Structure 1
Amino acid sequence: MNWRATLSWEDAKKKALILNKIRLFFSELDVIEVETPVLGRSTVTDIHLEAFQTKFDFFSDSDLNNSDTLYLQTSPEYCMKRLLASGYQSIYQISKAFRHECKGSHHNPEFTMLEWYRLGFEQEDLMNEVASLLKEILFCNDPIKVTYQNIFIDKVGLDPLNTTCTELKQLIYDEGKMSEWLFNEESCDVLLQFIMSELIEPLIGHNEPIFIYNFPISQASLARKNKVDERVAERFECYFKGLELVNGFTELTDPVEQLNRFNKDNIYRDQQEMQKKTIDRNFIEALRSGLPNCSGVALGVDRLLMLALNKTSIDEVITFSIDRA
């Protein structure tokens, strides 16, 4: 019966009310809804993300013998920042995003993202606004906030800003999680991300949402360096009841630094025999023209709906999952 919807009619009505509530939340703050393209000529260089791609033959400068590549966007981020550089004020968007990843109980390759940008906001300001939205939709307790460094020290007894790959592998081994690919892994960031997802995330955010902030600079290619500790960037994530809900930054506005970070991503991709990605020159030019000081955040709407409607699978909050599309 794969033709049937996985979202019930009763839950579809509840979902519509929640989406209306989100829009009302931003309307009351005078944050304006916008829409940006889903297809683009460039994509992200992020080594952990892969975009879907297709071909297009009809640009004015298209080569008759070679189609141009277009990418489904993994997030509306670059285009929204181009709007800010064009003179737009605080904005938000509820849009489809696409990531070429395995389907799971918490992820569908096509999903809905809420992304917003606030002019003049710092990381702390935006975390507080995210907390207000979560309380409005989920009726949850006040979130707590812990630095990335302190959550590692507290939960696994290791300082992530002063460690080595050998120490990280020893921790993974001691916890009974070692495998061949981890043993051969040479990136401390990959090992840290594994520890976060496998050893720390299951222990946090059970009773109230928790914000983890000030991630290592190497894990925040679009975020501004922290003014006090340049080992970390002003990036935060929010977790609640086993779900990673939110990823936000105080935005990097320096075009030279941003281009350097994109190039580093591509160098790493080349070293790992991954496909190098075309850097979004429109985005870089927007930064050169002047991106105002701002903070931005992406929130997984489907995961938020899972919590709001008390569901255990993303299939239950979308009409047709990828295997029924």
Structure 2
Amino acid sequence: MSDDWRPTAAIATLEVRASMLRAAREYFTATRALEVDTPTLSTAAVTDVHLSSVAATTNGRRAFLHTSPEYAMKRLLAAGCGDIWQICKVYRDGESGRFHNPEFTLIEWYRLGVDHHALMSDVERLIGAMLPPSRSFDRSERLTYREAVQLHAGIDPFDDPIPVLIARLESQGIEVPGDIRGERDACLDLIMGILVGPQLGHDRLTFIYDYPASQAALAQIRGPVASRFEAYMDGLELCNGFHELGHAAEQRTRFERDLEERARRGLPPMPIDQRFLAALEHGLPDCSGVALGFDRLVMCATGAEHIDAVLAFPFDRA
């Protein structure tokens, strides 16, 4: 008889998960953030070419499981909720492997009246509160995107031409696919994912900030850089945060550019979240927000080598 009914995580690991979630709730209660609960299922979807929504059908209508609660949470911010946070399951099609499961847990939160630098400090305090004493760390390291890529890949991500980026990848035995050889950001993503990211956060939490403006997503832009950051521990990207863009027309333009790029790549079009744009039109308060991959943080807390080791039932056993 098959034993694949059993959880892939040890019971002791599930106890660690539970204690970390308790610590998160205590932290947000102490810092006066409101816990909220937003829909998992939506008729809108993410337009980002790097993300794939899981499609569903309900009441005869096409729908999607959310890749993040971001749009709904910003609608709450526009309605006047103040600082908010939530723990939720999110879904991304086609993501499976050592560090990915199609269904995973996010902790997402927003603080009013702070920039991305202040939010990095908030992230550091939360992670410090959630990790067991055996994984305590000294004050975090903070590097700009340019500093990190120069230090760990030996190239300038803003000034070096694409052939230099490709040559650097190929010097490490990395094959650059033909369809991205003319795309600067795609080459930079490979460099960050393969050469830089794995080198980060091995003795303390590391923040990378001021990404290229072309990689802003939903962040404000300051000249050549976006007010965006990521946090790394044990070479794993744990979170992605922004000083949030509140300009509805600019956000619509970005969504429309995404759809044009999806068409160019032969990807299916995705319905834009018009309610989210209406909330921005109404007025989003100045805020910063971040999404933390909880399962990956549990991996760091327990020393797990595969995400399945920190999940009760990954997709293959769901």
Same topology, TM > 0.5: yes
Residue 126 of structure 2 corresponds to residue 129 of structure 1? no
**Structure 1 counterpart of 2:51, from 41, 49, 52:** 49
**Structure 1 counterpart of 2:159, from 144, 148, 162:** 162
Distance 1:164 1:258 in 2: 28
Distance 1:101 1:302 in 2: 18
1:194 aligned partner, one-letter code: L
Distance 1:154 1:191 in 2: 17
Partner residue in 1 for 2:247: 254
CA contact (8 A) 2:180 2:186 kept: no
Partner residue in 2 for 1:61: none
Partner residue in 2 for 1:264: 257
CA apart distance, 1:261: 0.6
What's the TM-score once normalised by structure 2's chain length? 0.95
CA apart distance, 1:101: 2.2
Partner residue in 2 for 1:273: 266
What's the secondary structure of 1:176's corresponding residue?
coil
Show structure 1 runs of 5+ residues with no match: 58-66
For these two proteins, the number of residue pairs brought into alignment is 312
Partner residue in 2 for 1:31: 33
CA apart distance, 1:95: 0.2
What's the secondary structure of 2:256's corresponding residue?
helix
Q: Deviations over 1:151-171 (max 9, x none)?
A: 112222221112322221122
CA apart distance, 1:267: 0.7
Q: Deviations over 1:153-198 (max 9, x none)?
A: 222222111232222112212222124x157532110100000111
CA contact (8 A) 1:135 1:141 kept: no
CA contact (8 A) 1:216 1:233 kept: yes
Residue 145 of structure 2 corresponds to residue 152 of structure 1? no
User: Larger deviation: 290-299 or 263-272?
Assistant: 263-272
Structure 2 vs 1, CA of residues 202 and 13 (structure 1 numbering), >3 Å: closer, same or farther?
A: closer
Distance 2:221 2:311 in 1: 37
Partner residue in 2 for 1:212: 208
Partner residue in 2 for 1:223: 219
Partner residue in 2 for 1:63: none
1:25 aligned partner, one-letter code: Y
What's the secondary structure of 2:292's corresponding residue?
strand
Q: Deviations over 1:12-54 (max 9, x none)?
A: 2222111111100010000111000000000111110001011
Partner residue in 2 for 1:77: 70
CA contact (8 A) 1:25 1:133 kept: yes
Distance 2:167 2:216 in 1: 25
User: Larger deviation: 295-304 or 268-277?
Assistant: 268-277
2:293 aligned partner, one-letter code: G
Partner residue in 2 for 1:40: 42
Over the aligned positions, Cα root-mean-square deviation in angstroms equals 1.3
Distance 1:264 1:187 in 2: 15
CA contact (8 A) 1:211 1:236 kept: yes
Distance 2:151 2:309 in 1: 35
Partner residue in 1 for 2:301: 308
**Structure 2 counterpart of 1:96, from 83, 86, 89:** 89
**Structure 2 counterpart of 1:196, from 192, 195, 198:** 192
What's the secondary structure of 2:304's corresponding residue?
coil
Partner residue in 2 for 1:2: 4
What's the secondary structure of 2:221's corresponding residue?
coil
Residue 234 of structure 2 corresponds to residue 241 of structure 1? yes
**Structure 2 counterpart of 1:114, from 103, 107, 110:** 107
Distance 1:184 1:133 in 2: 37
Partner residue in 2 for 1:141: 138
What's the secondary structure of 2:313's corresponding residue?
coil
What's the secondary structure of 1:2's corresponding residue?
coil
Same amino acid, percent of matched pairs: 40
CA apart distance, 1:114: 0.2
Q: Deviations over 1:122-169 (max 9, x none)?
A: 111000010111222222221110000111122222211123222211
1:31 aligned partner, one-letter code: A
Distance 2:275 2:180 in 1: 38
Distance 1:210 1:233 in 2: 18
